[in-house]
Amino acid sequence: MTNTVIVGLQWGDEGKGKIVDYICPNYDAVVRYQGGSNAGHTVNVGGIKYIFHLIPSGLLRMKKLFIGPGVVVDPIVLKEEVEKAKMMTQKLDLTVDLRATVVTPLHRWLDGYLEEIRGSSAVGTTRRGIGPAYAERALRIAPTVSDVLMKGREIFDISSKLFKWEGEVDEWLKTAKEVFSSFAGDVGLKLQEIMDRGGSLLFEGAQGSLLDVIYGTYPYVTAVHTLASYACIGAGIPLGSIDEVIGVMKAYQTRVGKGPFPTEVEDEIGNVIRERGGEYGATTGRPRRVGWLDLVSVRYTTRLNNARKIALTKVDVLGGLRSVKIAVAYKIDGREVEHFPADIELLSRVEPVYEEIEPLPKLDKGEWARICKSGWSSLPREVKRFVEFIEGKVKAEICIVSVGEERGLTVERS
């Protein structure tokens, strides 16, 4: 029995969906524990792209799937995803926790309205109602899945007064009751039963560690914890149930929305990486900001997550670039530091200290596929050096290298 958390080490979109799909055959169940439909996790099998927002990425492997109490669940998005999922597989075994917070039409409206009020200091949220849903939970006025099943439109009484909102709720409530009545249950209890039988659980983090509401680049973050430590709270399992954490990290850095980004590259190379890497949001379609790999921030997130292992993705995207840079330290006011600053103002004016690595080879899909088939030892020498370089700077072992979107374009350290 091994319980593993998959967590993003950057600003999201590291390829968590792909890695979850790749390793989940070794597990009995896949569990989302935070975030909501702001997530967009892509799995590519047989040339077909599947994007998951709420349903865990273990769907295609027909695993037991759970949406834990720490998630904010939009019933309209869930309904759409369930309908799609039923077309993909005969077997949808999904439980949504009764204690989970429900994202309402008011939350979606408030998300957009808050962004408008913020004007030039807008966060650049996904406008999926995530912040307002977690905020209402803290105010103790957000409905839970259980409330939606047991109550009527009175669940809106306080928040509609507070925010002077008079949207339509009857049709929404009908749909929400319908979708939750098919899937609601006690996730923590069911996970405990699986663990008691000796089963293994895979926890699927959403967003990235630098978007954590406290440890990320606040206020340019999401509204909840994204770190692996939140898996116990967000899934309803006891402290100490986690055996290992695998951090997922892209070979470069991306960010959607606003906020400091020390290694951002805004010139032609940035455009080349964006186009080659298909760096457009899986949820909103927005172009992602692109930059060089930042090992100062990755050291910080690896430590906070206790990620002893790393899955390194999108190595293929850097193939053929004449120069590949990696930030290993920051310069602040002329002083070199190796720690990620807690102060966002400071972070906004750091200068990255780069080291250049040997360029990576540009290979086509067929060549990468052959390498993946023959295993880790066949990785090109430059890729192995890249891996060793990262391992030398971050206290973790790279256990998986991903070199393409497709499930098969992955190689595991043997």
Q: Which residues of this protein are in contact with ligand GDP, per CB under 6 A?
A: 8, 12-18, 40-42, 44, 277-278, 282, 313-314, 316-317, 402-405
β pairing state of 309-313 and 397-402: parallel
54 binds Mg ion (CB under 5 A): no
DSSP SS3 for 413: coil
Binding segment (CB under 5 A) for Mg ion, from list 1-9, 38-46, 111-119, 314-322:
38-46
Residues 386 and 315 sit within 8 Å (Cβ to Cβ): yes
- Say whether residue 40 binds Mg ion (CB under 5 A): yes
| C-alpha dihedral, 30 to 25 to 87 to 70, nearest 10° | 10
Region of 205-213, 341-349, 353-361, 395-403 interacting with ligand IMO (CB under 6 A): 205-213
* Encoded amino acid at 262, one letter: P
Pick 24 or 256: Cβ nearer Mg ion:
256
Residue 211 makes contact with ligand IMO by CB under 6 A: yes
Distance set, CA 183 to CA 73, 87, 97, 251, 287 (Å)? 12, 17, 8, 38, 34
Among 9, 31, 77, 130, contact with ligand IMO (rule: CB under 6 A): 130
Instruction: State yes or no: residue 72 binds ligand IMO (CB under 6 A).
Output: no
- Which residue, chain included where needed, has tokens 């290992």? 244
Q: Does 8 sit near Mg ion (CB under 5 A)?
A: no
Nearer to ligand IMO, 207 or 263 (CB): 207
Residue (11 or 386) nearer to ligand IMO, CB:
11
Residues with Cβ within 8 Å of residue 334, at least 6 apart in sequence: none
Q: Which of 282, 312, 360, 398 binds Mg ion (CB under 5 A)?
A: 282
Tokens 């055959």 sit on residue: 25
Catalytic residue of the set 41, 53, 107, 225:
41
Q: Which of 131, 135, 315 is closest to 222 using CA atoms?
A: 131
Q: Is 41 a catalytic residue?
A: yes
- Select the binding partner of residue 130 from ligand GDP, ligand IMO, Mg ion, none (C-beta < 5 to 8 A, by kind): ligand IMO
> Which is it for strands 289-291 and 253-255: parallel, antiparallel or unpaired?
antiparallel
- CA–CA distance, 305 with 307 (Å, rounded to integer): 5
> Residues 6 or more apart from 172 whose CB is under 8 A from it?
75, 76, 104, 105
Which positions touch ligand IMO (CB under 6 A)?
8, 11-13, 38-41, 123-126, 128, 130-131, 206-208, 211, 222-223, 256-257, 282
Which positions touch Mg ion (CB under 5 A)?
13, 40, 282
Catalytic residues: 13, 41
